[in-house]
Amino acid sequence: MTEIFVLAEHRQGQILDITYEVLTKGKEIAEKTNAKLAVLILGKDVKEKAKTLPEYVNRVLVVEDFKLENFNSDAWIKILSNIIMEQMPLLTMMGHTSYGMECAPRLAASLGIPIATDCIDLDFEDENLVVMRQMYGGKVNVRAILKKAKSYMVTVRPGVFIARKPKIPFNGEVIEKQSLLTEEVTTKRFVEYVFPPPGEVDITVAEKLVGIGRGIKDQANMPMMEEFAKAIGAVLASTRPVIDKGWLPSDRQVGSSGKTVKPKLYFAVGISGAFQHILGMKNSDLIITINKDPKAPIFNFSDYGIVEDLFKIVPELTKRINELKG
């Protein structure tokens, strides 16, 4: 039986959205290759969590073990490699997330299964697995082909596939698998979760945001951006490099490792548009972008674009808006 495997991700009792995104793509590939679709869920007390999964798949493979209470990639990899070796699915899919990035490459190497990471699309063409990826921070798309094998593995970029419930529920069979973890994994130990401290402003509820990126160049230019944000009544948000430099607190970061925002206005200034950032802001109602590089990927997601030096436009715009306001 040909089968497509999807690894379910869950944390603190919640199945994460990425699981349903990957399942949506998995269903499409299963239909095309005439394969069955299965989801794997590992953990402690996961049977209960797995209740919604049968409607998405033919089979739900549940591995219940108290030793899997918290995520530990060494334990996950041991269990997954046993199941993959035994079942030899055509394809194993997971998110290109903190889970998938930690497990998939190592699992693929240990099993000798060809892997493509961070895919934005994939398809079987004449029995070849063809994937679409990006390079250079999203500036170039790449079509690549995997070496022919019996079984493949991919990680899928979050936010690329829209999660959809199957129109006709699968009512899949729930199968319990033995964990085969004979003893505690001692190489690695989960200690605790750390939550970010609550900030002064919540960028997820602000109506207007001015997103700033690497193009700001220097911390000395921050007051200019503060002034601009104030003039249009917006809150400053940013990309990862600005946070890394400590120019804004970490709760202002927009993107896959930060927050997802959907304001009425997102003014992107000096942001080239790495996909991690795009994922967090592309659904804003109106996106206006200032960037001197006409090929910056962010322009592909913007409503209005200004190809110009931000240091010319921003002060001029601030001045004019302040004049208007009197």
172 or 297: CB nearest another protein = 297
51 or 320: CB nearest another protein = 320
171 or 300: CB nearest another protein = 300
CB of 145 to another protein, least distance (A): 5
Chain center to CA of 168: 27
> Of 194, 229, 184, which is closest to residue 208 (Cα–Cα)?
229
> Of 168, 162, 156, 149, which is closest to residue 116 (Cα–Cα)?
156
CB of 194 to another protein, least distance (A): 4
CB of 173 to another protein, least distance (A): 32
CB of 281 to another protein, least distance (A): 12
- Beta strands 10-11 and 152-156 are unpaired
Instruction: Please give the Cα distance from 260 to 249 (Å, whole number).
Output: 16
Dihedral angle sign, alpha carbons of residues 230, 239, 294, 262 = negative
> Which residues, other chains included, contact 130 with Cβ-Cβ below 8 Å and sequence gap of 6+?
122, 123, 124, 143, 144, 145, 146
- Beta strands 14-15 and 10-11 are antiparallel
33 or 250: CB nearest another protein = 250
CB of 166 to another protein, least distance (A): 26
92 or 97: CB nearest another protein = 97
CB of 191 to another protein, least distance (A): 4
Are residues 237 and 203 in contact, defined by beta-carbon separation less than 8 angstroms? yes
**Torsions phi, psi of 113, nearest 5?**
-100, 125
67 or 292: CB nearest another protein = 292
